[in-house]
Structure 1
């Protein structure tokens, strides 16, 4: 029986695989997995004994026409070269390597390629996975990929040129938001009123409630600001400070991350030329 292949079981890969199993979008008997450290798969094998554990990436390629690469960006070229002789014209590679363009992947594997940038928030079936396909991916192939990632959150189809900005808004955003909230909370702690645990609980519940309010009541950010900040009030005073400081800060954040993204892409361009 043809399988759905998975190569790699690191932090992001294991999260996605667990989400797929929770959702039931694939049966465990349909899945075959390989990873460099097979001991990482021992717990998975105990809880899902029908998943096939492959001893090599080549075995995954021989048994699968759809192969998810859940490996680090620096390992993609080597892995593709390893399995190339065991793929066919119908093989579809789905890769989650950040910074690696479809064009570069095509230099090693000239077949069907989808690029996906998932989000940590998929752990709780929320957030957005960014998806792009090359021209060889058929509508049926695209539907399969989108169905898999819709089982653990939302999917947004993007042009590959949009990945750098879109990644900041989705995949990287949980870290950015957490850092901002952490610093916000730490400033409150300087006044010695609440413990760290108390302050973090208050701001976390408020953050969750705000996101829920925006989504369930179909409010905009401006709607929330207008409803909370009365003219001449205390909240408005705080917003003035944020307005002065955050705009240049976020401009710098985007400039810095986009520059880093461009640098990574250039390095990978050179690597894939050889």
Structure 2
């Protein structure tokens, strides 16, 4: 199977590198391209056996599974460009949440699915979110699910939870990185610890936390109960967190949903449905 990636920005590059480093595909079975070819060339320099396509049409013509890793408002233009070379046995995969599989199916005759990756997939971890088009063959469903098991935990989701699921698995690392940085900054401002030491300690703590959860030693709730001894120091910190965070995360999801709805309207205007 030949994998094609159209668009090698942040997520396109992460996807290409994860699939290769996770031994899901070999570099020789992948072809990539980007509007600015120098970005794609950077990836080829790392994996010399990978093929660099001159444009989207060349990639779509030579690949079996074609990943569209471009901005949402560029997807329709790419679909219209590559449609003449899309035979029925190919599969088009979008990685962007505002565009539904139904909208893409309205423009092409091949199998269609959406796979929303996460930056955590670069570490061969985290979740990838799957949605399948009505015409997507069982063979393609099984093939891509198996492929992504090498770099993630693939999970099929319903259309109505696409945004919140994407917020958790795809945006979540950025949200929590922001909180962690605030945690570090607070320690530096209020105590004698320096930035580098605080960052090192916090990073190692997070890695350890991840391992505890991964190895099923604790759940999030039981871990908190183990550390938060009644009347202890941790409890005092938890009181502050309860008081200060309040409905913060409700507001986060409210804001992302509002932005998503705006994107949906713009995409509907483009696709006409």
Q: What interval of TM-score do these two structures reach, taking the shorter chain for normalisation? A: over 0.9
Structure 2 equivalent of residue 256 of structure 1? 255
Structure 1 equivalent of residue 51 of structure 2? 52
Note the C-alpha offset of 1:133: 0.8
Note the C-alpha offset of 1:154: 1.6
Check if 1:37 corresponds to 2:36.
Answer: yes
Structure 2 equivalent of residue 140 of structure 1? 139
Post-superposition Cα deviations, 1:92-119, rounded to whole Å, max 9, x if no partner, equal: 1011123222222223224311111111
Post-superposition Cα deviations, 1:65-123, rounded to whole Å, max 9, x if no partner, equal: 32111212121100000011111122210111232222222232243111111111112
Note the C-alpha offset of 1:177: 0.6
1:32 and 1:51 in contact (8 A); partners too:
yes
Structure 1 equivalent of residue 168 of structure 2? 169
Give structure 1 stretches of 5+ with no counterpart: none
Give structure 2 stretches of 5+ with no counterpart: none
Q: 1:232 to 1:192 in 2, by over 3 A?
A: closer
Structure 2 equivalent of residue 16 of structure 1? 15
How does the TM-score come out when normalised to structure 2? 0.93
* In 2: Cα distance, 1:246 partner to 1:192 partner: 22
Structure 2 equivalent of residue 155 of structure 1? 154
Structure 1 equivalent of residue 105 of structure 2? 106
* In 2: Cα distance, 1:7 partner to 1:217 partner: 38
Note the C-alpha offset of 1:6: 1.9
How does the TM-score come out when normalised to structure 1? 0.93
Moved over 4 A (4+): none
Structure 2 equivalent of residue 72 of structure 1? 71
Note the C-alpha offset of 1:32: 2.1
Check if 1:242 corresponds to 2:249.
Answer: no
Give the aligned CA root-mean-square deviation in angstroms. 1.8
* In 1: Cα distance, 2:272 partner to 2:72 partner: 16
* In 2: Cα distance, 1:27 partner to 1:211 partner: 29
* In 2: Cα distance, 1:213 partner to 1:3 partner: 38
Aligned length: 273
* In 1: Cα distance, 2:83 partner to 2:111 partner: 13
Post-superposition Cα deviations, 1:170-190, rounded to whole Å, max 9, x if no partner, equal: 101101111111112211222
| Worse-superposed segment, 104-113 or 72-81 | 104-113
- What secondary structure does 2:241 align onto? helix
